[in-house]
Amino acid sequence: MNKKRASGRTVGGLRTLSLQAPAVTLLLLWMIVPLGMTLWFSFQHYNLLMPSMTGFAGVENYEYLLTDPALWRSMINTLLLVGWVLTITVVGGTLLAVLFQQEFAGRGIARVLAISPFFIMPTVSALVWKNMMMHPSNGVLAWLFESVGLPAVDWFSALPLTSIVIIVAWQWLPFALLILLTAMQSLDEDQVEAARMDGAGPLAIFFFITLPHLRRAISVVIMIEMIFLLTIFAEIFVTTSGGPGLATTNLAYLIYIRALLDFDVGTASAGGVIAIILANIVAIFLVRMVAKNLED
């Protein structure tokens, strides 16, 4: 009987493995082939403008990138962009989640309108902000400034990185609001009411009850947003094209410049490998942070 059961388990396991094998194989090929090609080209002389220059480059592409001031400027811009957007979306999302948790007329409509920007495509969002909101002559912000006697601001020339932060934060604030508002639904109202009866004010309830309750949700928001914010491209491409100079060039846009404007595939591949390493370092840190919060 035991032999039959063991045999049955073995046959069932083989059948399950045979069903899973095609999907797992396809997934591995989908991940490994592009990564392998990127690693290969990062060690090659491969410039489409100079087809005669080929062969093994060793670490020359990496040396060139690591000694290029543009790389370090783009990494600083990437960190500034990610840091400011995370600050705005987490703080703003938390405050809006607390606000939309309260009862008021039209709350359902207000929630839908607040979450709607997240469903707009990044390219469309960037075009709307560039041509309708931040235009120095015909934009809504220019009209508002002029209506109170202030001069209009040429956002993408005077404050280029700030402009990108505003656009990206506007896109991702609804995502943070959605996650945090969902977490607010599980807040124990009896605990809040008991705190009010004990004399706790709104600030005390917010800092000692609401924020600790939202800690896990905030960790999830930070993890998901940071992974996507490291690869911001469309907003920069549509509005500033990385300029003026390198003022808004992040790591993703620098790789685009090297690959599709300079046609230097080898250097661009080396930049891609550096971006992969940076993303994995960030992912490891975030996963540990989220796991620690989940354990608590």
User: Looking at 6-10, 171-175, 286-290, which range is the least confident one?
Assistant: 6-10
Q: Which of 33-37, 126-130, 191-195 has the highest mean pLDDT?
A: 126-130
Name which of 264, 99, 285 is nearest 180 in CA terms. Answer: 99
AA letter at 173: L
As a whole number of Å, the end-to-end CA separation of the chain is: 46
pLDDT in tens, 265-294: 999 999 999 998 888 888 787 777 777 766
Q: In whole angstroms, what is the distance from residue 23 CA to residue 27 CA? A: 6
Over residues 107-149, the pLDDT tens digits come to 889 888 998 888 899 999 999 999 999 999 889 999 999 999 8
